[in-house]
Amino acid sequence: MGGYVEKVLDVDLTKGDVAVVDLDWDVAMKFIGGRGYAAKLLFDLLRPGIDPLSEENVLIFMTGPLTGTRAPASGRFVVSSKSPLTNTIFDSHCGGSWGPELKRAGFDGIIVRGRSPHPVYLLINNGKAEIRDASKIWGLETDATVDGIKRDAGLDDVKVCCIGPAGENQVRIACIISDKHRAAGRGGLGAVMGSKNLKAVAVKGSGEVKVANPRAFNEEVKRTLEVLRGNPITGDSLGRYGTAFLVHLMNKAGVLPSYNFTRGFFDRAEDVCGERITETMLVKRVACYGCPIACARLIKYKFGGEEVVSSGPEYESVWALGPNCGISDINIIARANDLCNKLGIDTISMGNTISFLMECCEKGLLKGLGEVDFKLKFGDPNALLKVIVDTAYKRGLGKLTSEGVSRAAKIVGAEDIAAHVKGLELPAYDPRSAKGMALAYATSNRGGCHLRAYVVMSEILGVPRYVDPLSYEGKAELVKRLQDVSAVIDSLVMCKYTMLALFSTLAYEPTHYARLLTTATGFYVDEEEFCKIGERIYNLERLFNIREGFNRSHDTLPLRFLREPLREGPAKGELVDLAKLLDAYYMVRGWNYDGVPMDKKLYQLDLEPLYTGPKLQVAIDERYLKDGLSIAEACYRGGAEILEVGTPLIKSAGLEAVKEFRRRFPYATIVADLKTFDTGWLEVELAAEAGADVVTVLGATDDYTIKDAVGAARKYNVKIMCDLINVPDPLTRAKEVERLGCDIVCVHMGISVQMRERDVTKKMMMLEEIVRSVKVPVAVAGGVRLEHINDLVKCGCKIIIVGSAITRSSNPEEATRRFITTIRGAYEGLRGS
C-alpha cells in the first residue's frame, strides 16, 4: 500500500508517554486520511459534552496519502479537535512544509491526549519522539518560538508548528502557526493546544513517501500539472496577484462585505486588492511544498516609519482586517495580519469580531461594559491594532474579543448583527448575494465556512460553469455535491485552490483527484466511490454534532441576512429564504426534517445511527392519495422515518401510491401494507419495483406463500413483515414465520378505548413472550396510543405502529413528534434504570 507511512504517534501529555501505533487500515479505507481519518478518531474517542478546553479533549495532527508525494499542492496537513469556539467537530487546514516533513519523519499523524502539568513541546526526529520542556519559549511570539526551538533542538532545518500568546491564554479564536506564517487558522484550535500546555510540535524527517504505482502516479501528476498551469486562475491570476486577486471580482459582484456586513461592496477596494499589493509591496512569490501555483506572498510594508518584511495577507485577511472594518490602508492591513501571525490569532475571526464591536460602539451598545477605554469606530487603524494585541493577552476590550463574536454578542446583547454560524465567524462572501454560499454557510459542519463548499467559484467566478448567484434552483444539489467532494480533497490532503481548474462540469467530477488517490495508494477508487467516501465523512461529522446537541435550529444564518436586504449594489434588495434552501438540501442529503441523517442513508454509507432503540411507523390508512401524501408530509416533518402506505390507500390508488411515496420521501423506509395472502412472489416483486422497502404478508396464509414472498424479497433486497392479525396462536406462528425467513413479526394487539386494563395487561404479557421467543424485530400495531408507549417499549418492541392517533389528530406533525419523543424517552429511561 502506497501513500501512507503506516504509523501514528500517540502522545499522552498527562502521563508523559509517547507511543507508536499502526495506522488503522479499516479507517483509512473508509475515511482516507486527513480530515476524514481524524473525524473518525474524534467520533470514537470523545464522549459527548466534554469541555473543549479540558484535558479530555483530543488534538489530532493528520496528513493524507498524497501529503509529501509529487502530487501538486499536496503540502498540507489537518489539525482536528472539538472546537472551543463552536463546540462542533472541527478541522483546520494548513499549508507550507510541516505536513510533508511529518510524513518523511515516519508518521501519518499525531494524536495528542491529556494535559501536561507544565509547558512542553514535542520533538520528532526520523521516527523518534520526545516531550521536551518549553518553559524558556512559553510566552514568545510564533516567529521567536520557531527560532528558540531550533536552538534548543540543535536542528536548523526543523519544521515547527506552534502557538503564540493567544493560544497560551486560551483565546477562543487562537490559531496554530506553521513555518512562521502559514496558519491552521479557524476554530480556536490554538486554544486547545494551549489548554494542553503544548507550545509546539517540531519535526525533522529525511525519509521517503512511496506510492503504489510510481509510473502511473507520475503520469497523473503530469496531467494534473498541465491542467493547473494551463488554467487562467491557477496558472496565472493566483500566482501573479495572490489570493487577494479576488477583491475586485467579489466587489464588482456585490459579494464583498464591508462595515460588518452592512454593505455588499467596498468603495475603496482598489486600495486593498491583489494588484495593488503586487505593484507596491511584493518582495517575492512563495509556494507551499509541491505547489505550482505559488499564491503566497512575501511583502514589505511600512509601519512606524520603517519597512517591515513579512508574509502578505490572503484575501480573507485583507477583507476581515480591511473592508469589513472600514479600513483601506493596505499597510495597516498588512501590519494587522503580521500581528495576528505573531500572536497566533485567526484573522477572519479577529476582523469579524472587531467590526462587530465597531458597529456596536457606533450604535452606543458598549456603554456600561466597563471594558472600553477608547472609542471604536469604523476605519480607525489604531483601534484595530490595539484590540488585536489586547485580544491575545485578554486585557481590556480583549477580554471580550477573545471569546469570539458569538459569545461577545450575547454579552453585549446584539446577537442580531453578529456575523457567524454555529459560533464560527463568517468569511468574505455576503450570503445575500450568493444563495449557494448562504446554504453552504448554514449547513457547514464546522460553522460559518466557505471552504466546506466553495460555491462562489461557480456563482461568481463561473468555474467550471456559471450559475446565477441569486437563483435558488439547484443550489441544494450543488452544495451537497461540493461538500462531499471537498471532504475527500481535505482527506488526501490537497489544496482546494486546485478545484478552480480540475472540475469540468457542475457535477464537480473528481476525476483527477480519484486517479491520484488510486495510483498513490493502490486501492481503486472511482468517481462514484470517491463521492460516497465524502458523503460518509460529511454524515459522520453531522452525527458528531447531533450528539453534541446540534439540530436544524443551528443550520441558520444571522438575522441580518434574513431580515435586512442589501441597500445597494448588484444584489440590491436581496435577502435569504433559508427555509426553502434547507428543505431541499435535507431531502437531497437523506436527512429528516430536523436535519438528522435517516437510518436508510446511514446504512448505505456503512455508518451506524446514534439512536438504536424502538422506531415509530406511521400507518397512512387513507382513501385518497392526495390526503395520504399530505398527512405523510406532516408526519415526515415530525420526524417519522418509517411511512406505511396503508391497505386502504393501496386498494384505492394501487401501487402508484407506493411509487409516489418513494418519489416524495426517497430516504424514508416505505412499507407497502399489501397484507399478501396469495401469489407471494408476484406481489412482493411488484411492491419492490414500485419502491417499497418492506412488504407485509399475512401470518394467516400458508407457508408456501410466505416462502415465496421471502424468496422475492431476497432477490429484490426488501424485507418481509409478517402480520399476525387474526392468527389463533400468535406465539407459535411467530416462531414459525421466523423460521420461514420473515424479517419482522408484527403483533396486532387490537387495543380499544373500551378495553379493560386487565385485558390490556394480558395482551402486553403475550407481546413480551413473543419478543422473548424470536430473534427478529417485533412490531406492534392496533389501537396504539400515547399512554401505551412505556409498556410497549418495556416489552421490547422494535417498531411501534401508530395510525389514527396521529393521522386523525388535529396536527399530525406535532402528534408524530410527541410519539417519537415519548418512545425515545421511554427507551432512554429503560437503559438508565
Q: Give 697-732 pLDDT, tens digit per residue.
A: 999 999 999 999 999 999 999 999 999 999 999 999
pTM for this predicted structure: 0.96
Overall average pLDDT of the 680-709 stretch: 97
- Residue 749 pLDDT greater than 90, yes or no: no
Domain 243-424, CATH among 3.40.50.720, 3.90.850.10, 1.10.569.10, 3.30.9.30:
1.10.569.10
- In CATH terms, the fold of domain 7-204 is Aldehyde Ferredoxin Oxidoreductase;  A, domain 1 (3.60.9)
Decide if 347 contacts 338 (C-beta within 8 A): no
Decide if 526 contacts 515 (C-beta within 8 A): no
Overall average pLDDT of the 682-710 stretch: 98
**Residues facing 133 on adjacent strands:** 120
Q: Judge: domain 611-832, CATH 3.20.20.150.
A: no
Q: Which of 721, 588, 584 is nearest to 642 (CA)?
A: 721
Per-residue confidence (pLDDT) for residue 369, from 0 to 100 = 67
Question: In the structure grid, which three cell numbers stand for residue 252, read together?
Answer: 464588482
Ramachandran bin of 474, using left for φ above 0, alpha for ψ from -120 to 50, beta for the remaining angles: left
Amino acid at 617: Q
In order of 88, 114, 124, 201, 397, the CA distances from 110 in angstroms are: 20, 13, 10, 10, 36
In order of 40, 785, 804, 806, 815, the CA distances from 810 in angstroms are: 43, 15, 11, 8, 8
Parallel/antiparallel/unpaired status of strands 77-82 and 615-620: unpaired
Per-residue confidence (pLDDT) for residue 1, from 0 to 100 = 79
Rounded to whole angstroms, how far apart are CA atoms 328 and 330? Answer: 6
Question: In the structure grid, which three cell numbers stand for residue 636, read together?
Answer: 415526515
Where, residue-wise, is CATH 3.20.20.70 in the chain?
Answer: 611-832
Rounded to whole angstroms, how far apart are CA atoms 119 and 168? Answer: 9
Rounded to whole angstroms, how far apart are CA atoms 447 and 556? Answer: 10
Per-residue confidence (pLDDT) for residue 753, from 0 to 100 = 45
Rounded to whole angstroms, how far apart are CA atoms 203 and 49? Answer: 33
Where, residue-wise, is CATH 1.10.599.10 in the chain?
Answer: 434-600
Per-residue confidence (pLDDT) for residue 93, from 0 to 100 = 98
152, containing H or E segment: helix 142-153
User: Which residue intervals of 522-653 are DSSP H helices?
Assistant: 527-547, 559-563, 578-589, 599-604, 625-637, 647-653
Q: How many residues appear in the chain?
A: 833
Rounded to whole angstroms, how far apart are CA atoms 197 and 507? Answer: 45
Helix (H, G, I), strand (E, B) or coil at 593: coil
Q: What is the pLDDT of residues 122-143, one digit of tens each?
A: 999 999 999 999 999 999 999 9
- Residue 819 pLDDT greater than 50, yes or no: yes
Where, residue-wise, is CATH 3.60.9.10 in the chain?
Answer: 7-204
Amino acid at 529: E
Overall average pLDDT of the 529-536 stretch: 98
Helix (H, G, I), strand (E, B) or coil at 86: coil
Decide if 696 contacts 708 (C-beta within 8 A): no
Rounded to whole angstroms, how far apart are CA atoms 661 and 552? Answer: 24
In order of 406, 782, 808, the CA distances from 812 in angstroms are: 36, 18, 7
Confidence of residue 337 (pLDDT cuts 50, 70, 90): very high
Q: What is the pLDDT of residues 573-591, one digit of tens each?
A: 999 999 999 999 999 999 9
Confidence of residue 656 (pLDDT cuts 50, 70, 90): very high
Amino acid at 711: G
DSSP secondary structure letters along 371-395: --SS---TT-HHHHHHHHHHHHHT-
Q: Pick the range with the lowest mean pLDDT from 43-47, 336-340, 368-372.
A: 368-372
Decide if 537 contacts 38 (C-beta within 8 A): no
Q: What is the pLDDT of residues 411-469, one digit of tens each?
A: 999 999 999 999 999 999 999 999 999 999 999 999 999 999 999 999 999 999 999 99
Where, residue-wise, is CATH 1.10.569.10 in the chain?
Answer: 243-424
Confidence of residue 370 (pLDDT cuts 50, 70, 90): low
Question: In the structure grid, which three cell numbers stand for residue 470, read together?
Answer: 441569486
Angle separating helix axes 347-362 and 330-343, nearest 10 degrees: 120
* Mean of the per-residue pLDDT values of the chain: 96
Q: Which CATH architecture has domain 434-600?
A: Orthogonal Bundle (1.10)
Q: What is the pLDDT of residues 10-59, one digit of tens each?
A: 999 999 999 999 999 999 999 999 999 999 999 999 999 999 999 999 99
Angle separating helix axes 527-547 and 475-492, nearest 10 degrees: 90
- Residue 384 pLDDT greater than 90, yes or no: yes
- Residue 751 pLDDT greater than 70, yes or no: no
Decide if 217 contacts 227 (C-beta within 8 A): no
Amino acid at 313: P
Helix (H, G, I), strand (E, B) or coil at 93: strand
Overall average pLDDT of the 92-102 stretch: 98
Overall average pLDDT of the 523-527 stretch: 96
pLDDT above 90 as % of the chain = 95
Neighbours of 579 (CB within 10 A): 11
Helix (H, G, I), strand (E, B) or coil at 49: coil
Rounded to whole angstroms, how far apart are CA atoms 271 and 382? Answer: 19
User: Which residue intervals of 462-596 are DSSP H helices?
Assistant: 475-492, 499-502, 511-521, 527-547, 559-563, 578-589
103, containing H or E segment: helix 98-104
Burial of 292 (0-12, 13-18, 19+ CB in 10 A): middle
Question: In the structure grid, which three cell numbers stand for residue 151, read together?
Answer: 536552538
Rounded to whole angstroms, how far apart are CA atoms 151 and 147? Answer: 6
Parallel/antiparallel/unpaired status of strands 198-204 and 159-162: antiparallel
Per-residue confidence (pLDDT) for residue 754, from 0 to 100 = 43
Neighbours of 556 (CB within 10 A): 18
Decide if 700 contacts 725 (C-beta within 8 A): yes
Rounded to whole angstroms, how far apart are CA atoms 142 and 146? Answer: 6
